[in-house]
Chain A
Amino acid sequence: MTIIDDIAEQRLFARARDGLSPSELDEARVLAKLEQHFAEHALSQHEQPSPEQSGSPAVDHGGASLGKLARVSRVLVTRPIASVACTVVLGVLGVMAPTLVARVWRNDTQSEQRKPAVVPLAGAPAKLADAAGSGEVAGGAVLVAEQEPAEAVHSAAEESQPPAATEHKRRRASPRCPEGDGCPALPAARIIAPSPEPAPPPAAVTSLRAELEVLKEAERAVRERQPARALELLASFERESRDGAGRMQQERAATKAIARCALGESRHTVYAEFVRAYPRSAYAERVRHSCIPGL
């Protein structure tokens, strides 16, 4: 094999890699699907009785981990935008840390009297920033300072330590803030549930699930040659959706485009509109195939 052959071959492989590579949208879309998968998994965990309630030993660490991931991935999906906001919030939190710790200390003492169940939350600073704005999370749970991110059991002895005593440990525990680099000492987040009853699923999870159900129903309607019903379902969801847009806009747009073509709208126009709205969409080929099979 000559050197020229080698160069030509390398060029060909480089092109093939380009041709096979995903777009940023592909990456974001799969991440959203992963988030949805983990959220649903966490939801199913949530709907099952807890080990304490059923009396069985705790064995499913993987499920708990998935739940943590689902919660964090909601933050990570919007990371590019959230990172700017988080930087600002973290700065504010750095200034407010002593006050926050004192406040949550009081809350913790009060909640201890109710013998709370403690759920450790994977300690992502961004998530803390996200949650700290309200001070409360679903089900009326209260955010409190945590001594160690990996700690699984709430220790009453540690509760009795003053907040300042745990500051050094928190500095060391944070992978994003090595000791001595001037980062503020931020408490990792932990949820203390106020009562043994399970909290209702987070609104984001339920709305995502509802959106997924609507999308599946609409796709089924298209397959059953009921495009008008598919459009009605999607329009109804968009009218009633609390956040207006939903999380799977592109999927809904693709299904709508296919339904519109099936209804006899100008196929080229529908396809062009879809591609204009989502020029790098993985669904473009699907819409094209359904609308203009011969193209």
Chain B
Amino acid sequence: MIWSVTKATPGAEAGRDGGSVDPSEFHTLYREHFAFVWRCLGALGVPAGNLDDAAQEVFVVVHRRLLEFRGESALRTWLYGIVRNVAANARRTQRRRGVHDELRDSEPCMQPDPSASFEAREAASFVQRFIAELDADKRDLFVLALLEQLTIPELAPLLGIPLNTAYSRLRALRQEFRLALERYEAP
């Protein structure tokens, strides 16, 4: 269990009790969740050229706040909370800058991995465009429930909604997605 060492003791705040993140535990967390973080950042519209920096920022925050995590939510939803903030900052910076930077910002919002099949790239691109059109609540639900396949009980605390509301929103979201897909596939 990854939290056996890093979980904060009751009543103690991170750092104040002299506790620190065990580097090997942090490394384990990095290896296990890097792909999740990377995918979510990409899905949330962080441009490919900024993914490195955004992923790095996520794990810097994770390192800083790891001792605060008390296991009250699923680890991946806790991570997603950080990812969501970092992605929002990255998008804001991108909009504010608005200047074409030849070295960093010229890539489309797409993974450049040539080993990914054309179908995978196309599917990723479609999903990214669909997510970009959603409002914030639906976006989180889509990424976690449909793309990352988290269960509703896992993600409902992050969204701050009752389970039944989450289920009904998910049904509506899937319907919306199917319609978008049909429009996309229509000749």
Q: Contact partner of B116 among A18, A61, A79, CB < 8 A?
A: A18
- Which residues of A (46-83) have their CB < 8 Å from a CB of B? 60-62, 64-66, 68-69, 72-73, 76, 79
Contact of B102 among A5, A13, A65, A290 (CB under 8 A): A290
Q: Is there contact, CB below 8 Å, between B181 and A122?
A: no
Nearest CB of B to A174, in Å: 11
Query: What is the interface of chain A mostly: helix, strand, loop, or mixed?
Result: helix
Cβ contact of B20, chosen from A37, A68, A73, A289, cutoff 8 A: A68
B134 interface residue, CB < 8 Å from A? no
Complex partner residue of B122 from A19, A72, A76, A279, CB under 8 angstroms: A19
Asked whether B112 is an interface residue with its Cβ less than 8 Å from the other chain, the reply is yes
**Interface size of B in residues (CB-CB distance below 8 Å):** 65
- Interface contact A222-B103, CB-CB below 8 Å: yes
CB of A286 within 8 A of CB of B49, answer yes
Say whether, besides A13-B147, A21-B39, A69-B21, A175 and B5 are in contact (CB < 8 Å): yes
Chain B interface, DSSP helix/strand/loop, else mixed: helix
B94 on interface, CB distance cutoff 8 Å: no
Q: In the complex, which of the residues B48, B102, B120 contacts A16, with contact meaning CB atoms closer than 8 Å?
A: B120
A50 CB, nearest partner CB in chain B, Å: 17
Neighbouring B residues of A73 by C-beta, 8 Å:
23, 27
State the CA gap A37–B53 with chains docked (Å). 11
When A20-B43, A23-B113 are in contact, do A282 and B51 touch as well, CB less than 8 Å? Answer: yes
Question: Which of A16, A22, A66 touches B38 (beta carbons < 8 Å)?
Answer: A22
Q: Are B34 and A19 in contact (CB under 8 A)?
A: no
Taking the complex as formed, is B70 at the interface, i.e. its CB lies under 8 A from any CB of chain A? no
Known: A73-B27, A282-B48. 19 other contacts (CB 8 A): A1-B178, A12-B127, A12-B181, A13-B146, A16-B126, A19-B124, A20-B39, A20-B128, A23-B113, A26-B38, A27-B34, A30-B52, A62-B14, A62-B64, A65-B63, A219-B103, A223-B102, A282-B112, A286-B104
